[in-house]
Amino acid sequence: MASEELACKLERRLRREEAEESGPQLAPLGAPPEPEPPARAPTASADAELSAQLSRRLDINEGAARPRRCRVFNPYTEFPEFSRRLIKDLESMFKLYDAGRDGFIDLMELKLMMEKLGAPQTHLGLKSMIKEVDEDFDGKLSFREFLLIFHKAAAGELQEDSGLMALAKLSEIDVALEGVKGAKNFFEAKVQALSLASKFEAELKAEQDERKREEEERRLRQAAFQKLKANFNT
């Protein structure tokens, strides 16, 4: 229905333009005068937007449009070059600027992020940043698309003076403390991480060992407290 409505609108617009180009036509004698349509200023942007919407709808109907992702996103398997700690740090950053808590960073939230990072962008610049990684054409950044920015930056797929490159550089996380052999920044860490065997398993085991150590320390503290409490009661 939406595609038919858009097609009708375009057809009416084309007929009106053809009538204007052919000049005024004389009405038959005795026929009542037709009411003049309200004057409307030509809007090229509205025509382009309407045409884009119609093309998108036709692509969807014909199965030519890229489908939206509906499967469960696993950042650890889709971005194996990133360490678990790095992904968690980037996730914390993503959630920090996701003011709406809807799992997306929209244009206004991206504007605030770039201002906080010290690299403010114009409205068109922000839209261009989103468009470059917007896989599902929803006009905002999902967490996967946010990680895609850093993936493209590490792979050298971003323009040096682009807004996305500025975001990636200003968001660099020193991973020297994250067990990637003293890498100075994210880009060096990416190269080294690719050469580490079983990196995911090793990090997962390290996290498990850390939790075990914390549990053991908590148990010892509770035992010491119970012993101290018993001494006071005697």
Interatomic CA distance for residues 65 and 136, integer angstroms: 10
Could you give the number of structural domains in the chain?
Answer: 2
Say yes or no: 187 and 100 in one domain: no
What letters, b where the CB count within 10 A reaches 16 and e where it falls short, cover 42-80?
eeeeeeeeeeeebebbeeeeeeeeeeeeeeeeebeeebe
Task: Kindly state whether residue 83 falls inside one of the protein's structural domains.
Answer: yes
Say yes or no: 218 and 144 in one domain: no
Domain boundary (151, 176, 201) is at 176
Say yes or no: 163 and 185 in one domain: no
Say yes or no: 87 and 126 in one domain: yes
pTM: 0.49
Q: Return the pLDDT at 56.
A: 67
What does the block give as tokens for 159? 């323009």
Say yes or no: 98 and 145 in one domain: yes
Task: Kindly state whether residue 146 falls inside one of the protein's structural domains.
Answer: yes
Inter-helix orientation angle 143-154/163-170, to 10°:
90
Task: Kindly state whether residue 133 falls inside one of the protein's structural domains.
Answer: yes
Domain that holds residue 218: 180-227
Say yes or no: 207 and 122 in one domain: no
Say yes or no: 223 and 202 in one domain: yes
Say yes or no: 170 and 81 in one domain: yes
In the predicted model, is pLDDT for residue 20 greater than 80?
no
Q: Return the pLDDT at 136.
A: 92
Interatomic CA distance for residues 140 and 174, integer angstroms: 27
CATH assignment at residue 119 = 1.10.238.10
Say yes or no: 161 and 82 in one domain: yes
Say yes or no: 171 and 187 in one domain: no
Lowest-confidence region among 87-91, 108-112, 163-167, 196-200: 196-200
Task: Kindly state whether residue 38 falls inside one of the protein's structural domains.
Answer: no
Task: Kindly state whether residue 166 falls inside one of the protein's structural domains.
Answer: yes
Q: Return the pLDDT at 225.
A: 81
Say yes or no: 105 and 124 in one domain: yes
pLDDT tens digits, residue range 143-178?
Answer: 999 999 999 998 899 998 999 999 998 886 543 344
Say yes or no: 197 and 169 in one domain: no
